[in-house]
Each structure stands twice: as C-alpha cells, then as structure tokens.
Amino acid sequence: MTVPCVTEDHEQVWIKVNTRVDRGIARVVSALNCLDGLQTVDSCEGIAKYKPAHVYFYYGDWHQIGTLVFDRIGPALWGRLGNEAIVSLEVFNDSAPMGKLSFDKEATNVVASILEELLYERP
C-alpha cells in the first residue's frame, strides 16, 4: 500500500530541502532559496558559448513573483550585466507563474553576487 506524502487535506508549510544541483550554479540556487517561500524547481549550469545557465522558480502569486522579477532582480542584473542575463515569467497550462533566470555561464559568479547582495538579510 502506498501512502501519499502530500494531500490537500493537510496544511503545507515551507522548509528548506537539500538536493543535488550542478556545482557551477549551486551559489545562484542557494541565493534564491534564501527567500522564504521561493521554490527552485529546475537548474542547469549551462555550457559555455553554447547553452545558457538557468534556474526556474516559483514565488507566491503573480504580484509577489512579478515584484521580485521586475522590480528587484531584473533591474539589478541589467545594471551590471545588460543582456548577458535575462529574468522572465512563464506560465504553462494554467499553472502558477514561474520565474526563469538565464545567463551566460561565464557570468555565474557575478549573478550569484548580485543575488546575494539583493536577497541575503544583512545584520
């Protein structure tokens, strides 16, 4: 007998979960995951000059994710990287809005630094 782990009958809470990610994008994923309620769902460190690095994530409703993407992350990335980094919102089959951050693999450390400056709580 299989017992379901998550059902609509139980209240859900956010916890941080350890999982495996590509070494080259781990710092970016960690920075994003410092936000309570943000859920990264897919990432790849990319292939230099061939395939951009990316992270897909959920964060609340349209307003919350829109504010995060268009008011905070987007302007900060654009100011330092121009078109080397793109942040966008996507929707698939009436699902919740999903953020996508993509950037040149060579810009990974700069992207991580920008996110850490923006999102980490400083004492």
Tell me the pLDDT tens digit for each residue of 38-83.
999 999 999 988 899 999 999 999 999 999 999 999 999 999 999 8
What CA–CA distance (Å, rounded) separates 122 from 62?
27
Quickly list DSSP for 67-90: IIIIIIIHHHHHHHHGGGEEEEEE
Residue 51 located in a structural domain: yes
Number of domains observed in the structure of the chain: 1
Asked whether residue 3 is domain-assigned, the answer is no
Q: Is the pLDDT of residue 100 over 70?
A: yes
Is 13 a domain residue?
A: no
* Residue numbers of the domain that contains 62: 23-96+108-119
Give a yes or no: residue 41 inside a domain: yes
Residue 9 in any domain: the answer is no
Name the strand (E) or helix (H) holding 109. Answer: helix 108-119
pLDDT at 1: 45
